[in-house]
Amino acid sequence: MNHFAAADDISGRADLDVVLRRFYTAAFADPRIGPFFTEIAGTDLEVHLLRITDFWERALFRTAEYGRDAFAPHAALHSARALTAADFGRWVQLWRATVDGLHRGPNAERAKAQGERIALALHKRLAGPGASMEGEDGPGFVPLAALELRSLA
């Protein structure tokens, strides 16, 4: 085995704690999507980590409860400043890089696939069904058309 490869799968909450702290630290610092957290929503990182870890633990392992409305905060953001395909593309790129940097295995693949699916669903719901997958400021870092094709496969 490659000594440098991320070898272990995501196996539970302790792993999600590490993945999500790393992901949101990068997301908050990101020039494209960081301001949605830091300037528009004024998100408290520690509070968000507790909630989002429940969300992912529920999604991947069904060992936590999550009963909050995950769409509403994005709708509020979107009305303050449009969330574009490029923003969602950046989110997906950071998510993939974070997961791949720490883990490999079926749960890591599920986490990446679910993140992509949710990004696409949020984008479609915010932008409307007829919306182009390209943001007004050009295509995303990850071509979202490719994600759309993959979600149909």
Residue among 6, 26, 52, 102 that touches ligand HEM (CB under 6 A): 52
Nearer to ligand HEM, 55 or 61 (CB): 55
Residue among 7, 45, 70, 149 that touches ligand HEM (CB under 6 A): 70
Residue among 15, 30, 57, 87 that touches ligand HEM (CB under 6 A): 87
In the complex, least distance from residue 74 CB atom to ligand HEM, rounded to whole angstroms? 6
Rule CB under 6 A: say whether 61 interacts with ligand HEM: no
Q: How many CB atoms lie within 10 A of CB 132?
A: 11
Nearer to ligand HEM, 7 or 76 (CB): 76
Backbone angles phi, psi at 44, to 5 degrees: -85, 115
Angle, CA of 145, 71 and 69, to the nearest 5°: 150
Which of the stretches 5-13, 33-41, 101-109, 127-135 binds ligand HEM when contact is defined by CB under 6 A?
33-41
Residue among 33, 60, 94, 99 that touches ligand HEM (CB under 6 A): 33
Name the nearest CA neighbour of 38 among 69, 97, 85, 81: 81
Q: What is the Cα–Cα distance from 49 to 45, expressed in whole angstroms?
A: 6
Give residue 12's Cα distance to chain centre.
18
Backbone angles phi, psi at 59, to 5 degrees: -65, -40
Residues with Cβ within 8 Å of 153's Cβ and at least 6 positions away in sequence, in order, are: none
Binding site for ligand HEM (CB under 6 A): 33, 36-37, 41, 43, 48, 51-52, 55, 68, 70, 73-74, 77, 83, 87-88, 91, 115, 118-119, 122
